[in-house]
Structure 1
Amino acid sequence: MRAPIGTFDDVRPAPDCLELLPAPVADAVRNWRGGVPAEELVYVDSDPEVADTAAFVERYGQELLGVSANCVVVAGKRGGEVSLAACLLLSTTRLDVNGAVRRQLGARKASFAPMDTAIGRTGMEYGGITPVGLPGDWPLLVDPAVVDLEWVLVGSGRRRGKLIVPGKAIASLPGSVVVEGLGN
């Protein structure tokens, strides 16, 4: 099997490698109800030492920069209450935490969630957080540029490996809300 984007040595349909994914991601793939068949979700093996975007595209190809998306966990605060959400945007853009995210969450203040909160609540590794398998009660705020891609490269839940997902499938993930102006 060949990856729809990039050049990778080990490429498999995600349902065929559930043992390589952390439990919440494997469960999401196993019980997939998205807008495309689960077999269209592709797992590619990659070196965990180059999981961060800049190092990853240097190793696996600069053409991946324009189709790579980062999933970050944010915390919104209002009246002593903290709500968590995930945001997915192209790796070439910056998240508008104090504008678009704060407004979307109805928060007085928004910030990036602490690392221990992000990994503890998602069950995923820092640097590999993916929109596939997030907690069901979280909103997933998505930049429209991600949904517009034919294929998007996201984390696999671990620093080793990535998922390649049709962009249109992102909009059908649980809690997904496409937010104009999320990234700039």
Structure 2
Amino acid sequence: MTLSSLSALTSLPATERPDLLAAPVAAALAAWPGAAEVAVVEIDPDLADTAAMSEAYDVAMTASGNCVVVAGARAGEERVAACVVRADTRADVNTLVRKLLDVRKASFLPMDRAVAETGMEHGGITPVGLPEGWRVLVHEALLDEPVVVLGSGVRRSKLILPGRLLVDLPGAEVVPDLGR
């Protein structure tokens, strides 16, 4: 799979380069039927943040997805979700996500905890390979993108996949207007 805006980079089937993936991402791809359509590209880890990567590699923000982890509690029960939004938007955490989680207050999971619980690096968290039972809220706008660039679980690479595959991730729920 190639992406013309990432033409300076070489993409390879992600399952052939587990060394460029966090362990949970590699394990998830090994078991996921959609993995045949997922590629990985190696990038400069200093350019892992979406804005820097988009500028350096000429990737449209509309073709990139950001994944943030959010949590809230109700009656002593913590509810966690990963929100995957188009990079030119921000997850509507305070209204929409809070309502979807049915909590009084939704907040970003502290980074050290998100890193520990996902087994992924800060700046590389992706919806592929998240802990079992986590909800994955997917911005509907990403499904129409022919190719989406996501984290790979590590800062030194990115996943590339058709947006339509995001709906097939374990725990995925398509949410209109998730990104604002």
TM-score range, shorter chain: over 0.9
Deviates more, 1:92-101 or 1:1-10: 1-10
Equivalent in the alignment of 1:163? 159
Is the 8 Å Cα contact of residues 6 and 64 (structure 1) preserved in structure 2?
Answer: no
Gaps of 5+ in 1: none
1:132 aligns with 2:116: no
1:114 aligns with 2:115: no
Equivalent in the alignment of 1:48? 45
Listed one character per residue, the Cα deviations across residues 101-123 of structure 1 (whole Å, up to 9, x for unaligned) are: 01111111101110011101100
Gaps of 5+ in 2: none
Listed one character per residue, the Cα deviations across residues 68-105 of structure 1 (whole Å, up to 9, x for unaligned) are: 01000001122333221100001100111011101111
RMSD of aligned Cα (Å): 1.4
Q: Secondary structure at the match of 2:85?
A: strand
> What is the Cα deviation at residue 58 of structure 1?
1.5
Equivalent in the alignment of 1:68? 64
With the length of structure 2 as denominator, give the TM-score of the two structures: 0.95
* Matched AA of 2:93: V
Equivalent in the alignment of 2:17? 17
Give the Cα–Cα distance (whole angstroms) in 1 for the partners of residues 49 and 137 of structure 2: 21
Q: Secondary structure at the match of 2:154?
A: coil
Deviates more, 1:63-72 or 1:129-138: 63-72
With the length of structure 1 as denominator, give the TM-score of the two structures: 0.93
> What is the Cα deviation at residue 5 of structure 1?
4.7
Equivalent in the alignment of 2:101? 105
Give the Cα–Cα distance (whole angstroms) in 1 for the partners of residues 8 and 155 of structure 2: 16
Give the Cα–Cα distance (whole angstroms) in 1 for the partners of residues 8 and 26 of structure 2: 21
